[in-house]
Structure 1
Amino acid sequence: MRGVFTVAKIAVSCAYYGFDSEYSYSVPQDLKPYISDGIRVVVPFGKGNKKTIGFVIRTYESAEYNGALKPVESVVDERSLVTPEMMKIIFWLKENTFCTYFDAYKTVVPTGFSYRIDLHYNLVNTYIDESELSDEERGVIAFMRTSSSQREVDKFLSLTGNEKRKKALDRLIDRGYIELSDTLKRRVGDENIKMVELSRDYLDGNITATLTPKQSLIVKLLDEVGCASEKEVRYMTNCTGDIIKRLENKNVLHSFKTEHFRDALGESENSYMPELIELSDEQQTVYDGISELIDSNNPCGALLYGVTGSGKTLVYIKLIDKVLKSGKTAILLVPEISLTPQLLSRFKSYFGMTIAVLHSSLSLGQRTDEFKRILNGSARIVIGTRSAVFAPLRNIGVIIMDEEGEQTYKSDSSPRYHTRDVAIQRCGHNNCILLLASATPSLECFYYAKSNRFHLFEMKKRYSDAKLPDVKIVDMQKQAASGNDGLLSFELIQAIKDRLSKGEQSILLLNRRGFTTTVSCLSCSTAISCPNCSIPLTYHKKNDHLMCHYCGYTMKFDGHCPVCHGDKLQMSGVGTQRVEDEVVRLFPDAGVLRMDADTTSSRYSYEEKFSAFEKGEYDIMLGTQMIAKGLDFPNVTLVGVISLDKSLFTGDYKSYERTFSLLTQVVGRSGRGDKPGEAYIQTFVPDHYVLELASKQDYDGFYEQEIALRQALMYPPFCDMCVIGLSSQMESRCIAASDWVTKTLSEYIKNNKVSFPLRAIGPAPCAIEMINNRYRYRLILKTRNCKEFREMIKDMLYKFYKNRDLSNVRIFADINGDIGL
């Protein structure tokens, strides 16, 4: 054959890492106008030519026709959902996080846009000579003739485990007795509303119709407003849908459907102007400095280190207003869903409907519609959690990461990216600034700022000259010695009483949910543990169940040991439910609000509960770390930390940093208005230097001690750490796979004479050895994250996936991820 042919390189959705590649397909002439980078298509894949969804990575023209290439069968999208910039991000994710192309695509494009291919089997309307059929074939034909629905047929014939039936089905298809068809079904469809207007013929006088009084009301309304939704017309004229339908039949009305975006913002009106914000001298200095960086149009990073309550949000608003006025867009990232409602409410009052919001509490439909608003340019500011960094904005002027040191910015599933790294890539593509901000920056970012890799800006005073809270450390050992066997110290109890008498509010923090964390049997000396995970079950008093917070396993608590069936059980450890019981007992007239994963499972829980607390409907808010950061309640003048001792001794090199950050942040919730604040930290290790420095809000002192320790022990930022994680239902296979990985990496190092530094720790069992019936091992590599190192890991992963002896073992590689579990 002669001429030029179009070839598409396509990544398919069903390929796992060992076979993830750019597969070549020919593009038929009739599909050529619809094929572009990022477009999803249906292609045949594998030996059986199973229809599979893939997306086009690139296309090129070839003068040589390759008859072996399979053709693209159809196009899924009307236009690409992936901008050219996000295609670059997909390649970056593939290269740097060891994920598949389609894992990267699904991260960039919301789940609501995903499609599935449904196969349908139908009898062809031809004569069937059953005498030439086998018994199995006749059985298939008989079932199809007597089935009550297409769904029943499809379910019966899609059973891949029945090899005999499958062969019979294939023969019937080859003979033309059964036809196989397929349909594409999107996970979330577009939401459309019916609109009505006066028809052109009626307006031109070509239609004359006798109208009833109700019909005349409808015609009069539409003559005034031009066009309205059917729902609005029915409401305004108090008529039924049948009346509207009759007018359509008379050709008086014309109806059509238009896309309606599902609301994720709620009511939104601009009630304030960013220009009217008055910044303090310190805020103005920071704003001017960052503005200069924005005006330079050069990609760069900046760290805003500001104490709690210093007014960082006002600086964000002014900076975003600046970039919007210059014709650019902005992204504001927050670490927790719980921070979104309060922050969103504030930004809506300044920017209205130019905002789009992206976080996991939205429905699939809302998330899909917000993505479309961003893609079509109607939203110019995106506020959201980790995944919002992939928002398809164009011409970005600033990306802001609030509380940048939070671990929630790191993804713990494929692709295992850090939001900060993706944001840096996007800043490079848009020539814009990445502003990292926190009262407790991550040690890595503060080190980079001190080393002039980031520009450093500081705000050391609270806004409106509010004072930092007075913090006291309470020794719980002395409390026990003085006869206090409760969960709250005498000092904290008295402080809460004082606040209640003044009409002020209090916040209590305990970062463990449930009632008690361990239930032990005194007869057989065992803890009641999860059958799927190597951890004790947590007792939840509210539903009288024992629960695993890792795999979700639950069992009814009947007061007996499941091992020896004895009834001598001892409960130990404290969760938020137990603290709630004690607080209610001590303060029966106070309104107590508990905020943890058990009480905030519904979609609007955060917004409703925080709003109620802000209005003064509750006096005391008790919760886990979701209440510790970013929240602003002017009437809160007391914070009590029930206990954070356990977090100091998790065995993770970041345990001190996380504990310091959590303490500093939650203490900073106190005294943010015009009333002085106070905080109490209860502990059994009162002399620990982390607690002492946190009580003084002395981040600089903590940084100096911790960075010296990191350097001495060679931890980030002085190296990168890659975790090779393995899991299997059989421990022996997990151990064998760990040994294989170690041997394979050793051989690669020997054969390729690598030059990058490398230290290996392990392989060894993880801190929690089994989760969800899978044994877990890991190998930790201290190294430098360079292309040469990533090539070594990719080589090992490709070999691993192609090794059939390891098919029952799962593996992942995670650079600078969490090593605590």
Structure 2
Amino acid sequence: MNRVRCLVLNAALGPLDYKVPEGMEVGPGHVVECPLGPRTIIGIVWESERLPGTEVPAEKLRPLRSILPVPPLSAPLRRLIEWTADYYVASLSSVARMALSSGGALKGPATITEYRLTGGMPERMTPQRHAAMEALEGEQATIRELAGIAGVSEGVLRGLVNQGVLEPVEVDCDRPFEQARPDFAQVDLSESQKIAADKLSEAVRQKKFAPYLLDGVTGSGKTETYFEPVAEALRMGRQVLVLLPEIALTENFLHRFEERFGVTPVLWHSSLKSTQRRRAWRNVASGDAQVVVGARSALFLPFRNLGFIVVDEAHETSFKQEDGVRYNARDVAVMRAHFEGIPVVLASATPALESLQMAESGVYAKLDLPSRFGGAELPEIDTIDLTEEKPPHGMWLAQRLIDGIAERLERKEQSLLFLNRRGYAPLTLCRNCGFRFQCPNCSAWLVEHRFTRRLACHHCGHETPSPAACPECGEPDCLVACGPGVERIADEVAERLPDARVFVATSDTLNSPGRAAEFIAQVEAGAIDVIVGTQLVTKGFHFPELTLVGVVDADLGLEGGDLRAGERTYQQVAQVAGRAGRGSKPGEVLIQTRHPEASVIAALAAGDRHAFYEAETEMRREAGAPPFGRWASIIISSEDEAEAREAARRIGDARPEVPDLMILGPAPAPMALLRGRYRYRLLMNARRSVQLQDVIRRWLSSIDHPPGVRVGVDVDPYSFV
């Protein structure tokens, strides 16, 4: 009798067996509808031998209901799902859910009715109608989506439809995207670019797994270099995946891609409308989507004919997912290329130590771009010792940095000030009674945002209006900001250099591709003199008139006991320094610090990357830290503090005795309260010989927890809060 085993998208159920109805042809990878009690659930047919389950007598099996009208998930994608679940100690179903991330895409071909402005005017103009018509210029979407864009109710828009101001348009949900042309534009590559591009293009033609590290200084033209193997893959009729760490970076990338290939690529990220996600998913699955540019979740899209993967800014910590399945997209991309049998390139000006180690051991082939493209020079770097060159009282910028900005203003050049701290100030307190504003859901202070006149938590998103008086003692006008955020630095620049046109660039102000495009256009048009930004502006942007970069507080990233604090600081400062002098004009970087002798700061000032990585490698080797050892953490959380503490104690008491494995904790996590949940943590440090995932699985499977307790595992953690 014909039976199949299905992986259903519910971790609590495990694999389930079903009968295949007569006349239905089904095989591994097919997405199917299965009965479960009175409900119908979605499952993926899987190889029985790879998915252990309980053998159910044939007469008890219920028949599958239907095969959904989408191509089956390929064997390489199924192997990737298995590997990710195994390596990151996650359930198969939670990983598989990422591959079926567009519910609408599973329903088969469809059309929808979208609406757009006709150019007509309503009989009666109201403020809401006027605002909606302004906001919807050039937009086409469903009524619900247009209401979200315009910030009005659906009723307002239906009124505009009745008045003929909005017209319906029938749209094929899955219409193909415009085709990219590999030979649309020819580019002149430098000799080192051409050598790297030729090697990557040859690897694409070979159709074999080959991991590369493209290590090029900022401004060396890494993007143009890997565009050549992208073009080669397109000539071969194969698909390409490019991963970017930030949505805000996509606008700049799209512009460069369109200049090279004549069209924009297919986008995949969390800000897409549901109809856009559906269209992208189905075009990827059919093979019609040629080049997909996306965030880390694009890794699990069901590509039909993948030929090349690029991970741009591969050192970026935002490639690591911090909740749900805690995977690192950089490493999973390499594994996807392995299962697909294709080349993958990790591109970065400041590669992660783990990537450099893989290159040194010969696992990755290393391609170097040692100089900037077109003869541009790397910027001069100098430090400002804040213990000697103290800023004026109540200020945060040393006079030398202000003088440097003033010089650029006279020369009609641009400056960038980097501080990785959003908002106006990291802490607000009452000068009368000392009351501090704390988040009710997290162990964190509320950050003042003066632009929006609100206090906000950067961990859970909780917001409250800035009060006129202290809620503790009732004293009016007594709140004082402690420390600087980017908004405060922008205010200081405006006060000390009143003629400067200042723009604050953070995830608050560049929270959509449209806003990012507007920002880029303003900078390129010379409408902005000084950019004050967070880590969002440290990478990807190319502004030829930007000749001065000031790092407001280089010591900020070195605070706390984070294993990668030194490396992260080095990467951020080196990346932001790389924004200076990318055109024909020379660049200068001024780094404000209280510890100019610290190894990270000294290496940055001397431009000696080799010395920094050598010292960092030795430190990691001695500590048994990645890449020489393994780290993992277990995070226990509950809304009830006593329940979380007791669950952590029970896990700690059951700890296994394993040679070469050290287990620390349980202890309250540094961020002991997060989003209303109390958190405890155990940290493991193991030699590479230890089968760490097997140890964790056996350890945790022997312990039951109350329903309110969550236990998460983070293999290769990046965040230690």
- 2:152 counterpart residue number: none
**Which of 62, 69, 83 is equivalent to 2:61?**
69
Instruction: Tell me, yes or no, if the aligned pair for 1:354 and 1:380 is still in contact at 8 Å.
Output: no
- 2:95 counterpart residue number: 104
- 2:708 counterpart residue number: 808
Instruction: Tell me, yes or no, if the aligned pair for 2:88 and 2:693 is still in contact at 8 Å.
Output: no
Larger Rg: 1
Which of 419-428 and 701-710 deviates more?
419-428
State how 1:696-711 maps to structure 2 within 5 Å.
696-711=606-621
- 1:563 counterpart residue number: 472
Q: Are residues 22 and 502 of structure 1, via their aligned partners in 2, closer, same or farther at CA, if it must alter by over 3 Å? A: same
**Which of 567, 579, 589 is equivalent to 1:669?**
579
Instruction: Give the Cα–Cα distance (whole angstroms) in 1 for the partners of residues 421 and 714 of structure 2.
Output: 27
| Residue identity matched to 1:39 | V
- 2:459 counterpart residue number: 550
Instruction: Tell me, yes or no, if the aligned pair for 1:38 and 1:87 is still in contact at 8 Å.
Output: no
CA deviations on 1:484-531 (whole Å, 9 max, x unpaired) are: 542222112121122122221221111111111111234544422111
Structure 1 position 295, deviation (Å) = 4.6
Structure 1 position 589, deviation (Å) = 3.0
State how 1:349-368 maps to structure 2 within 5 Å.
349-353=259-263, 355-368=265-278
Structure 1 position 354, deviation (Å) = 7.8
Q: Are residues 773 and 258 of structure 1, via their aligned partners in 2, closer, same or farther at CA, if it must alter by over 3 Å? A: closer
Give the secondary-structure state (helix, strand or coil) at the position aligned to 1:527.
coil
Give the secondary-structure state (helix, strand or coil) at the position aligned to 2:552.
strand
Instruction: Give the Cα–Cα distance (whole angstroms) in 2 for the partners of residues 733 and 560 of structure 1.
Output: 37
Unaligned runs of 5+ in 1: 116-185, 195-240, 242-255
- 2:676 counterpart residue number: 773
- 2:32 counterpart residue number: 40
| Residue identity matched to 1:24 | D
Give the secondary-structure state (helix, strand or coil) at the position aligned to 2:581.
coil
CA deviations on 1:182-208 (whole Å, 9 max, x unpaired) are: xxxx799753689xxxxxxxxxxxxxx
Q: Does 1:723 align with 2:633?
A: yes
Q: Does 1:684 align with 2:570?
A: no
CA deviations on 1:77-130 (whole Å, 9 max, x unpaired) are: 213463332222222222222323332122123335378xxxxxxxxxxxxxxx
- 1:141 counterpart residue number: none
Structure 1 position 262, deviation (Å) = 7.7
Instruction: Give the Cα–Cα distance (whole angstroms) in 1 for the partners of residues 303 and 85 of structure 2.
Output: 21
Q: Are residues 740 and 785 of structure 1, via their aligned partners in 2, closer, same or farther at CA, if it must alter by over 3 Å? A: farther
Instruction: Give the Cα–Cα distance (whole angstroms) in 2 for the partners of residues 466 and 330 of structure 1.
Output: 30
The structure with the largest helix share of the pair is 1
Q: Does 1:10 align with 2:6?
A: yes
Instruction: Give the Cα–Cα distance (whole angstroms) in 1 for the partners of residues 22 and 653 of structure 2.
Output: 50
Give the secondary-structure state (helix, strand or coil) at the position aligned to 1:191.
strand
Instruction: Tell me, yes or no, if the aligned pair for 2:449 and 2:487 is still in contact at 8 Å.
Output: yes
Q: Are residues 638 and 477 of structure 1, via their aligned partners in 2, closer, same or farther at CA, if it must alter by over 3 Å? A: same
Structure 1 position 293, deviation (Å) = 4.1
Instruction: Give the Cα–Cα distance (whole angstroms) in 2 for the partners of residues 20 and 790 of structure 1.
Output: 22
Instruction: Give the Cα–Cα distance (whole angstroms) in 1 for the partners of residues 264 and 450 of structure 2.
Output: 45
- 2:230 counterpart residue number: 320
TM-score scaled to structure 2, two decimals?
A: 0.85
Instruction: Tell me, yes or no, if the aligned pair for 2:629 and 2:685 is still in contact at 8 Å.
Output: yes
Structure 1 position 723, deviation (Å) = 0.8
Structure 1 position 582, deviation (Å) = 1.8
- 1:253 counterpart residue number: none
Instruction: Tell me, yes or no, if the aligned pair for 1:466 and 1:671 is still in contact at 8 Å.
Output: yes
Instruction: Give the Cα–Cα distance (whole angstroms) in 1 for the partners of residues 343 and 40 of structure 2.
Output: 44
CA-atom RMSD in angstroms: 3.0
Q: Are residues 483 and 260 of structure 1, via their aligned partners in 2, closer, same or farther at CA, if it must alter by over 3 Å? A: closer
Instruction: Give the Cα–Cα distance (whole angstroms) in 2 for the partners of residues 405 and 440 of structure 1.
Output: 7
**Which of 187, 209, 219 is equivalent to 1:277?**
187
CA deviations on 1:207-252 (whole Å, 9 max, x unpaired) are: xxxxxxxxxxxxxxxxxxxxxxxxxxxxxxxxxx9xxxxxxxxxxx
Instruction: Give the Cα–Cα distance (whole angstroms) in 1 for the partners of residues 348 and 412 of structure 2.
Output: 31
- 1:28 counterpart residue number: 21
State how 1:301-700 maps to structure 2 within 5 Å.
301-353=211-263, 355-480=265-390, 483=392, 485-566=394-475, 568-602=478-512, 604-700=514-610
Instruction: Tell me, yes or no, if the aligned pair for 1:35 and 1:75 is still in contact at 8 Å.
Output: no
Instruction: Give the Cα–Cα distance (whole angstroms) in 1 for the partners of residues 217 and 708 of structure 2.
Output: 50
Q: Does 1:758 align with 2:661?
A: yes
Q: Are residues 68 and 397 of structure 1, via their aligned partners in 2, closer, same or farther at CA, if it must alter by over 3 Å? A: closer
State how 1:734-753 maps to structure 2 within 5 Å.
734-746=644-656, 749=657
Structure 1 position 787, deviation (Å) = 8.9
Give the secondary-structure state (helix, strand or coil) at the position aligned to 1:399.
strand
**Which of 39, 46, 55 is equivalent to 1:57?**
46
Instruction: Tell me, yes or no, if the aligned pair for 1:356 and 1:373 is still in contact at 8 Å.
Output: no
| Residue identity matched to 2:710 | R
- 2:696 counterpart residue number: 793
Give the secondary-structure state (helix, strand or coil) at the position aligned to 2:302.
coil
CA deviations on 1:45-77 (whole Å, 9 max, x unpaired) are: 4xxx544333333479x99962222333x2262
- 1:88 counterpart residue number: 79
Identity over aligned pairs, percent: 31
| Residue identity matched to 2:466 | F
Give the secondary-structure state (helix, strand or coil) at the position aligned to 2:81.
helix
Unaligned runs of 5+ in 2: 116-160, 162-168
Structure 1 position 405, deviation (Å) = 0.9
Instruction: Give the Cα–Cα distance (whole angstroms) in 1 for the partners of residues 55 and 674 of structure 2.
Output: 54
Instruction: Tell me, yes or no, if the aligned pair for 2:182 and 2:235 is still in contact at 8 Å.
Output: no
Instruction: Tell me, yes or no, if the aligned pair for 2:99 and 2:300 is still in contact at 8 Å.
Output: yes
Instruction: Tell me, yes or no, if the aligned pair for 1:263 and 1:366 is still in contact at 8 Å.
Output: no
Give the secondary-structure state (helix, strand or coil) at the position aligned to 1:531.
coil
Give the secondary-structure state (helix, strand or coil) at the position aligned to 1:643.
coil
Which of 562-571 and 662-671 deviates more?
562-571
Which of 562-571 and 19-28 deviates more?
562-571
| Residue identity matched to 2:674 | I
CA deviations on 1:669-696 (whole Å, 9 max, x unpaired) are: 0110111111111122222221121233
| Residue identity matched to 1:90 | I
Instruction: Give the Cα–Cα distance (whole angstroms) in 1 for the partners of residues 669 and 187 of structure 2.
Output: 51
Q: Are residues 110 and 607 of structure 1, via their aligned partners in 2, closer, same or farther at CA, if it must alter by over 3 Å? A: farther
Instruction: Tell me, yes or no, if the aligned pair for 1:191 and 1:261 is still in contact at 8 Å.
Output: no
Instruction: Tell me, yes or no, if the aligned pair for 2:635 and 2:682 is still in contact at 8 Å.
Output: yes
Instruction: Tell me, yes or no, if the aligned pair for 1:36 and 1:58 is still in contact at 8 Å.
Output: yes
Structure 1 position 810, deviation (Å) = 0.7
Instruction: Tell me, yes or no, if the aligned pair for 1:356 and 1:374 is still in contact at 8 Å.
Output: no
Instruction: Tell me, yes or no, if the aligned pair for 1:362 and 1:603 is still in contact at 8 Å.
Output: no
Q: Are residues 368 and 697 of structure 1, via their aligned partners in 2, closer, same or farther at CA, if it must alter by over 3 Å? A: farther
CA deviations on 1:620-658 (whole Å, 9 max, x unpaired) are: 222111111111111111111112322111210101110
Structure 1 position 316, deviation (Å) = 0.9
Instruction: Give the Cα–Cα distance (whole angstroms) in 1 for the partners of residues 170 and 548 of structure 2.
Output: 55
Q: Are residues 27 and 59 of structure 1, via their aligned partners in 2, closer, same or farther at CA, if it must alter by over 3 Å? A: farther
Q: Are residues 188 and 64 of structure 1, via their aligned partners in 2, closer, same or farther at CA, if it must alter by over 3 Å? A: closer
Which of 494-503 and 508-517 deviates more?
494-503
Instruction: Tell me, yes or no, if the aligned pair for 1:112 and 1:367 is still in contact at 8 Å.
Output: no
Give the secondary-structure state (helix, strand or coil) at the position aligned to 2:228.
helix
